[in-house]
Structure 1
């Protein structure tokens, strides 16, 4: 059983004949490195494009506000109403994420994800025609509904293709597009605003209309571009499909070969302490993420820069966040431990916000923004990979990710209200609340590390060993389950199986 407990494997090792998926298929001619490079090209770039649009379409409201969105309409919107409109987005966005992930597993990703993209593109276009507070609230609620499934869906989808030791860098590459979207959104808003008056529409309206139109076009292409799960991917040969699934099964991704939905998988997630601690971790970086992305242009603007300069000055922090996100993702996969990386990132973020609270210098505050970007954005793929890699079972993992990401995102409803205009230009209260969120994240990653380490030790001592028919094991206990074979125990228990070792 010791060889089953290796939690990080650097290359694919052919399982025993009895454990092979589709033993009739010969995969000896498959080149693993070439195959994985081809999978990378088919899977990651398009996902990055989709998340780029996802993040830009939810955050461009901050850029549009600087160009008169709340004042240049028939019924001007007050500061309080604007904050409420930002808040209502998060409730459907967060609440619908677990259900969306279950639907994603049962349907084809090419169908479900593409439909979501098309719908939110239409909603973004509708932003360009609002005339009142009621219209803004309506389109923000609809945007929350239609965007809900994208981020947790992409994370779950990636976890269906790659080993645990590979997920950090893959998620980092796709998530880095969020930082690029922040930088590009500011630049694009400046360019599109030059259309002010075209067709009788204000420049801020064209920001929504053109960006939403592009999203709709990408959605239509996605029906053909997005690949489905390995067992049905069109670009793989039969031998390559079998090879990928065996590779995942060998990494204790046993559900890679397909898993029928059962209610017990949902309950497994709800009863798992890791799910609830993960919610705290996600809270620790998602709250700061939305505060940062929604209000960075406003914060810079209040430091004494014009709307156009403020939008342009958002580009360097986002570019720096992109570089650090990719670097941390690759490094995390190579060193094989994610806790210390999380600890460092949360500490860096805390330092950034402490400076923002204490600073009364625009230059120093702008420097602190770089620290915040280099901590918030890399924390997300690092911790997402950590959580996803420690949950086995496709449906259980989809529910766990949906709940954790959903709870993290609902905290955007809080942080979208903390930067009040009355607190400008230094926003001490807002920065203080973000610092508290970072503290929660720091505590929760430490709890997760301690819990996983203790559980691994119990399994090493044999305290979790199941009774397996025909297998002599003095540590086996009926309270851990009774199974005809080791394979049956692995499939039924997922990461609760005694041979599953958690990555730290």
Structure 2
């Protein structure tokens, strides 16, 4: 399905902005469904064409989850608390992907029940669970702390004070303006983070094995904790990227099965922590709830376009060594993950030094307080997370 893998990526970019607005629910009956043409044999669609259309709509529904969860967490927690929570979410998703096959295999044993195939029951049961949780989230999940009905008035004020001390825009009301959208598009950090993210989205599909997944989940949470405590997300990214480079070097050059399997472990432990850490890094340095939402959508959406690459670089004819595939992945790791992280770390460190020296104070000369707050991470007193 390489031809349609880009759809979730495209949807992610737009969803990042949509997630920051109030949702509008559109109701319709099954009879009014505009997807009826998929079941109409007279439409002349082949099975492959129907599968691509369905996959497109699956991507539409799925695309907003990862940037949406990242955005949601960033509105509730301080910058120094966000990383480990994003790491827990992502590692849980990784483990779910690892053990999801076991669940699917168990559900597939229902083949024939109700006249439906086993694969149909997988979609039905897992889909129903998702729908139930989604409905419950309407009463359980609130976009911002000041809207949370499950908190007392005193607790809401305490949460908002913590966010305000961290210079978080979610501590107060921020009205959407197109300025925030364009601010994200004009910010060099948005594109550099997208480049970094490209360094490992092409790799995930090659690490689908339970033990490496489990090891990667543990390291992911550990890196999230360390990055939060030290405030050095760039250094953490650089360190784990070296693990990934070592792992894929083994996959490319080693002959023994043991060494190559060790390479899979190192690759997984180098790649997965960097995913949640990069999202945390991008979120930490994009201030303003709307700008942050757009930024996360662009970073994740653009990076996910590499799903098109990853589905084509590992070809059956290259088995069992897969030299072209491993070589391409190694190049991605060196150029984008390691190189991009190093460049961004140096640039942010240089910018922080200028702000501490007062070289950016002229940006707020003559501005009122509200105008200064609208600057977001362009405020001279906003220090970037390294």
TM-score between the two structures when normalised by the length of structure 2: 0.89
Could you tell me which residue of structure 2 aligns to residue 162 of structure 1?
77
Pick closer, same or farther for the CA change 1:178–1:191 going to 2, 3 Å: same
> What's the offset of the Cα at 1:163?
0.6
Are 1:323 and 2:218 an aligned pair? yes
In the other structure, the counterpart of 1:383 is 278
Instruction: Kindly report which structure 2 residues correspond to 1:397-412, keeping only aligned pairs within 5 A, or say none.
Output: 397-412=292-307
Alignment of 1:42-57 (within 5 A): none
Cα offset, 1:481, TM superposition: 4.3
Q: Deviations over 1:107-158 (max 9, x none)?
A: 16xx88xx9xxxxxxx9xx9xxx99322321221111111111110110111
Instruction: Give, in angstroms, the shift of residue 217 of structure 1.
Output: 2.6
Conserved? CA contact 1:187–1:315, under 8 Å: no
Question: Which of the residues 441, 454, 461 maps onto 2:337?
Answer: 441
Query: Can you list the C-alpha shifts for 1:190-216, whole angstroms capped at 9, x where unaligned?
Result: 323333444555444443333223222
Task: State the partner residue of 1:106.
Answer: 21
User: Which residue does 1:358 correspond to in 2?
Assistant: 253
Q: 2:4 aligns with which of 76, 88, 91?
A: 88
**Distance in 2 separating the partners of 1:425 and 1:223:** 48
RMSD value, Cα = 2.3
2:52 & 2:183 partners in 1: Cα distance? Answer: 37
CA shift at 1:341, angstroms? Answer: 0.9
Greater length-normalized contact order (CA 8 Å, ≥ 6 residues apart) = 2
Residues in 2 aligned to 1:285 and 1:413: alpha-carbon distance in whole angstroms: 13
> Which segments of 5 or more consecutive residues in structure 1 lack a partner in the other structure?
1-84, 116-122, 297-313, 467-479
Is the contact between residue 4 and residue 52 of structure 2 (CA under 8 Å) also seen in structure 1? yes
For structure 2, the 5+ residue unaligned runs are 28-34, 39-44
Matched, 1:482 2:365: yes
Alignment partner, residue 310 of structure 2: 415
Of the structure 1 ranges 432-441 and 363-372, higher mean CA displacement relative to structure 2 is found in 363-372
1:184 alignment counterpart? 99
2:385 is the counterpart of 1:503: yes
Q: What residue number does 1:292 align with? A: 206
CA apart distance, 1:315: 1.8
Correspondence 1:180-329 to 2 at 5 A = 180-199=95-114, 201-289=116-204, 291-292=205-206, 296=208, 314-329=209-224
Structure index of larger Rg: 1
Q: Aligned equivalents of 1:460 and 1:371: distance in 2?
A: 38
Query: Alignment partner of 1:416: what SS?
Result: helix
SS in 2 for 1:96: helix
Equivalent position SS for 1:195? coil
Structure 2 residue aligned with 1:66: none
Contact 2:194 2:302 in 1 (8 A): yes
CA contact (8 A) 2:3 2:308 kept: yes
Structure 2 CA distance for aligned equivalents of residues 260 and 342 of structure 1: 34
Residues 171, 381 of structure 1: 8 Å contact kept = yes
Please tell me whether the aligned partners of residues 162 and 248 of structure 1 are also in contact (alpha carbons under 8 angstroms).
Answer: yes
Q: Could you tell me how far apart the structure 1 residues matched to 2:372 and 2:364 are?
A: 11
SS of structure 1 residue aligned to 2:77: coil
* Counterpart Cα distance in 2 of 1:372 and 1:393: 34
Change (3 A) 1:386 1:421: same
Contact kept? 1:87, 1:414, Cα under 8 Å: no
Assess if the C-alpha contact under 8 Å between 2:75 and 2:143 holds in 1. Answer: no
1:140 counterpart (37, 55, 64): 55
Give the 3 Å change call, closer, same or farther, for CA 483–489 of structure 1 in structure 2: farther
CA contact (8 A) 1:456 1:502 kept: yes
Provide the residue aligned with 2:347 in structure 1.
451
- 2:42 equivalent in structure 1: none
Decide whether the 8 Å contact of 1:156 with 1:401 is kept in 2.
yes
Q: TM-score, normalised by structure 1?
A: 0.69
